[in-house]
Chain A
Amino acid sequence: MSDNPNPVIYVQENEIKDEEDVLMSSRYSLGEDELDPFDEEEIFDLVRNITDPEHPLTLEQLNVVRVENINIDIKKSYIRLYFTPTVPHCSMANLIGLSIKEKLARSLPKRFKVDVIVTPGSHSSESSGKYIYTIVNYY
């Protein structure tokens, strides 16, 4: 039996999926020399669609990851992402953390140091330090 058989479902923000919308969206500049810097939303786009290990729902729908809980410091090349398990005793928390970590490791350039951390106060064994994943030099 899963730890939380009945999680609350949250409304999804609009994600750009369609090819045409991508070109129309202001998030993608058109000039050849214009620079699109990394931002929180881009990191969020990478992790929002990861499927929860227990439900046919995404981490976004379960509010495990939120764009507000991502910080990015371009100058220091540092990203910090907090994730929130749906219940404090969730045994899947480390699997979720690892999934996020792996997805980011595969998708981000290596100049970034990334910390994937369980949101303070959201998990019963957070103090054990088991749920902090740091990605450095992962190639």
Chain B
Amino acid sequence: MSQSSQDETIKCIEGYVNPQSEESKKTSSLNSILLGLVSKRIDIQDIVLGLGDYLNTKDSILRARGTLLLSEVLCRLPDYKLNQDQIHFLSMFYCDRLQDTPCAAEVVKEVHPSSLTHAHRKMVLQIIEIMFNKCLGEIQELKNDFMVGYLQFIDNEKDPRNLIYSFKLMPKVIYNIPEHKNFLESLFEILSCYFPISFNPKGNDPNAITRDDLSNSLLNCFSCTPLFAEYSIPFLIDKICSNLVETKIEALKALVYCCDRYGGEAIRPFLEDIWSALRTQILTHKNASVIEESKKTIFYLCKSLTKDQKVLESFLAIMIRECLHHIKSSQDSKIAIYCASILYQAISSSLLSSKIILIHVLPNLFKFFKELQQEDSVTKTNEQNSVLGLFSDLLKANSLAFDINSTSDTEVINPLTPFVEQLYQLFTDLLVNPSSAIRASSIECLSFLYISKKVKTNENGENEFLLDIEKRQVIIKNLVSLLNENDSTLRHKSLESLFNIASNENPKVINEYAIPTLLQMINSVHTDSTTTDQLKDLKNYLEAFSKLCTHQPLLESVIPQIQILIQHNIKDTYQNEQDFQKCILILKAISSILEKSTNQVTMTICSDSILLPLIKGLYKQIIFSSPTTFNLDYFNQILTASLKMIHSIVENTSLDSQTKKLYSLIDLFLKGDLKVLGFTDDEISNKQILPFENNITKENENIRLLIPIFTTCISQSKSDLSSNDQLKQSLYEMSLNTNVSETTSISCNKAYASILNKQPDDVNNYPTDFEFFENNLIKVIKSPESPIEYRIRCLDLLTWCTKALLTNGNKINIQLGNCISDIISTVTDSNEITSRASKSFDILLDNTDVLNEKSGSVIKILYDQKFFTLMFPILLESFKKYKATPSISSHYLMAISYLLRHVPKEVLLSELNEILPIVMQSLKSNDSNSLELLESSLQTLKMLINETPNSFISYLDSLIPSLIQISVKSPQYNLRRLALEILTLISKLLPFHNLFQFKQDVTTGIIPCLDDKKRIVRKQASNCRNNWFILQK
């Protein structure tokens, strides 16, 4: 080997071994050595020679690094060939190293941490850890000496990187060195000064130690031996009583964690202290989060103490004694109510604690309640009510504990079992109490008693309750009788309770009494004598019925009754206005029931038993009415409610059961096959009902009213109907028919669009090519010769078709969008058309009742974002181009605003630089016909401020005065309110130093809003002004 390469090797070794070298130098030195070895320029002997003194030096760090280099070389080059002698030599060397460890331990003892840099201290810690892994025996022999050295070493460490290492090492030391027992106090003292961890990592720290890391590993040290309990629990209790909210909460969490790991025995001596600290926090502290955390602590403590029944019993005994004392001395006071919540937490934590507490507390409460009643049953109402509240809390908590903690094992007994009779008696007696508040509370208690289970669930998957069926029936009867109570709290409470019961009880039981009674009540509202009072009764019963029906299994069982209700209430003739009011209320209630149900199985049953009878009812209204009896207003109201039902039913039915129904409906509407609805020949004698027919006589016009029924079904159908040309043609023509109402035409648009959306791409039948739209619709819209109504119909259809093709990602969608944008500037003869064209951008991206997932539409992923990225520049360009003509540019601005409203936030943020100036400009525009523009800009602004408040800092100068202006001057209260809402948002989200200069302007500027004529504006104004007064850094 040449002299130069030897020098180089030595330099590299030097570079690696020297602890002062930079990390990069170390790496490059090591790499060049490795490369030298691989290329055979140097061999292992040279390295050993070069290391020479380092391997024998007395400086342990240098020796360690020397050894490390050699080891690195061997590990990194596993394929490097060694001869016999070299292997022998190296093995001997490493054997030697192993015997070096006691010396290392001596070194540890002698090291003075304060004299070392943090990197060296870390190395020492690493060495200790290695020794624990490699030669535990030798360290254990050092006994107290090791502990002394160790303690000295870890004391006073401040560097977070070392701290976390040291915290992680601590449990190892404690598990392995029995002598730690002699040093517990000093150990804890060293540890405790770090609690609570206050450390804010720098943002760019590559080692990225977080506060949580440190905090968790410290907690791990605290809890690693139960022997620490003696020091840590008083310490933590002291911290819980400190003045800082954060410290309190941290200490509470630590307490839970430690107690759980120490186990019951270790904390037994501290139970009184723990309780008294927690109690003080809950009963006297002002901060709600501290109270909440303390309550949680009680919950978790009780939960973890379940492992040790004796300890749990003594802890609960202290708690019960004190809580009962407070409850007895003042039932409705803050402390008593908070004591109730403590008991609630303890009971819900586990079945065992529930059992212990209930056995002690319930008999006391019974006795006590009786005393209260005897004392003075009238004036003590508030007190009695609070005790009832406690009863209901206890029952609720017990149910919680029982449901969560018991297994399906039938041997678990509900802790409530011994008290069931007594509780039932007490609550049912109270149902006749003169005070309605007490009755309301006892209803609630009864419902919780009702749903208390005997076993979790029995073999049949049904609930088995503590109360027998007779008692349960009595409760249900009582609740039902209260459903029409005049007192609204009482009524709501009983409905709530009944619903609570229905959600847990077998539908059979509810169907036995509650549902039939309700239906009877609903039907028995007599129409000849219907007064407003009776309508109110009806509303109450319907509310109850709808609420109960939101429970899915129950709804399923009452579908036949719903069908009968529909049949009875869509009548050929109504006796009078009241009669009609009654029926429409019932229909509306049913439609809201169906709207809330999304279960496919249930809705398929509905579709089988409700859909056709419903449509038949509507048909009858048209067919059998004479022009004199037909009431268009009534029909429209019935139709609206029915359409909602049809929509919900079809939307949630499975494809299979849908398809068959659809084909028969197509027969019904396009071919006039009335047999589909089950009409007999006699009934329909020669009647021709073809709603889509082109030539309809004046007297037959009403049958057009049936069209929305059909279109609703078609737009919600999941199947592809595009091969039916007759269907498409009919819908297309009806969409453009100017003789039908706009709603009918729009409903045809929607149905046509839904079919278009599902039409497969490869099918060449009309009309998914651009020319079709160009020739048939766009030309008409642009030609001033055509009647304006017809042009509007064309535009509407174009919009909906564009939406359909946009949703399924058809290529021509952007072309169509471009055309609509074009219409805004080219059609100059009709303001109505231009403003409709700009509004259509709202429809294009809006979530509508059609073309969504539920209706089985083809939805291309991210279609909206794609459309936005293509469309936005086009609109922006046009806006800039027509800036000089406000009548056009304002419509473009509207279109842009509508577009922005529906764009995902991320996309919006990326376009922020373009968008913000536009929004700001529209706020200032004083055009009186641009109120809609203003509203949509304000909506956009509100969303943007919520998302990215800081982008507005540079606009505040002009933004705030504009908002104040709008909030004071705008003619629409909705705009005034929005402006104030945005001002409030600004005060909450932007930095203080940017806002402060505007404080005076806002607080005086919006004073007139405090006297606004609309209450809703005043509410927002006072909220806004108060927020600006208390701006905070």
Cα-based distance from A54 to B334 in the complex (angstroms): 12
8 Å CB contact of B337 from A9, A29, A103: A9
The CA of A123 and the CA of B831, in the complex, are separated in Å by 69
Given contacts A106-B1026, A109-B1007, contact A29 B1014 (CB under 8 A): yes
Interface string of A58-69 (1 = CB under 8 A from B): 000000000000
Residues of B within 8 A of A46 (CB): 1022
The 14 sampled A-B contact pairs (Cβ below 8 Å) are: A8-B332, A8-B382, A22-B1016, A28-B1015, A29-B1015, A35-B1013, A36-B1014, A36-B1018, A42-B1018, A45-B1019, A55-B286, A56-B286, A106-B1022, A109-B1007
Chain B residues contacting A54 (CB-CB under 8 Å) are 286
B1007–A56 touching, CB < 8 Å: no
**Bound CA span A108–B1021, Å:** 10
Q: For residue B291, which residues in chain A have a CB less than 8 angstroms away from its CB?
A: 56
- Smallest beta-carbon distance B599→chain A, Å: 25
Q: Report the separation of the CA atoms of residues A57 and B1004 in the bound assembly, to the nearest whole angstrom.
A: 31
Known A106-B1022, A106-B1029, A108-B1010; judge A9-B333 contact (CB<8 A). Answer: yes
Q: Is the CB of B333 within 8 A of A139?
A: no
Q: Is B287 on the interface with A (CB-CB < 8 A)?
A: yes
Q: Considering the complex, which residues of chain B in the window 991-1033 have a beta carbon less than 8 Å from any beta carbon of chain A?
A: 1004, 1007-1008, 1010-1011, 1013-1016, 1018-1019, 1022, 1025-1026, 1029
Q: Does B481 belong to the interface (CB within 8 Å)?
A: no
The 5 closest A-B pairs by CB, nearest first: A109-B1011, A107-B1022, A36-B1015, A109-B1010, A6-B335
Tell me the A residues contacting B by CB distance below 8 Å.
Answer: 2, 5-9, 22, 27-29, 32, 34-36, 42, 45-46, 54-57, 103, 106-111, 139
Contact (Cβ within 8 A) B1010 A107: yes
Known contacts A32-B971, A35-B1013, A55-B286; A5 and B1018 CB within 8 A of each other: no
13 extra A-B contacts, CB within 8 A, seeds A36-B1014, A36-B1018: A5-B283, A6-B334, A8-B332, A9-B332, A22-B1016, A45-B1019, A56-B288, A57-B334, A107-B1010, A107-B1022, A107-B1026, A108-B1010, A109-B1008
Kindly list chain A residues whose C-beta atoms are within 8 Å of the C-beta of B1004: 139
Answer whether residue B973 sits at the interface, using C-beta atoms and an 8 A cutoff: yes
How near does chain B come to A119, taking the closest CB pair, in angstroms?
A: 19
Interface, chain B (partner A; CB < 8 A): 283-288, 291, 330, 332-335, 337, 382, 971-973, 1004, 1007-1008, 1010-1011, 1013-1016, 1018-1019, 1022, 1025-1026, 1029
Given A6-B333, A56-B287, A32 contacting B973 (CB threshold 8 A) = yes
Quote the shortest CB–CB distance from B1017 to chain A (angstroms).
Answer: 9
Docked Cα-Cα span, A28 to B977, in Å, equals 13
Q: Which secondary structure dominates where chain A touches chain B?
A: loop
Asked if A9 meets B1015 with Cβ closer than 8 Å, knowing A107-B1022, A107-B1025, A139-B1007, the reply is no
Chain A residues in 8 Å Cβ range of B284: 2, 5
Complex CA gap A109/B335 in Å reads: 39
Cβ contacts under 8 Å, B1008 to chain A: 109
A2: chain B residues at CB < 8 Å are 284
Assess the A27–B1015 pair: CB atoms within 8 A: yes
In the assembled complex, the Cα of A7 lies from the Cα of B283 at a distance in Å of 11
- Give the chain B neighbours of A27 by CB distance below 8 A: 1015
Kindly report which residue of chain B lies nearest to residue A104, judged by CB atoms. B1022
Give A108 to B1011 CA distance when docked, in angstroms.
7
B1025 adjacent to A106 (CB under 8 Å): yes
Known interface pairs A35-B1013, A36-B1014, A56-B285; A6-B1022 also in contact (CB < 8 Å): no
A2: nearest chain-B partner, CB-CB = B284
Minimal Cβ-Cβ distance residue in A for B335: A6
Q: Is the CB of A28 within 8 A of B1016?
A: yes
Given A56-B285, A106-B1026, A139-B1004, verify A28-B1014 contact (CB < 8 Å).
Answer: yes
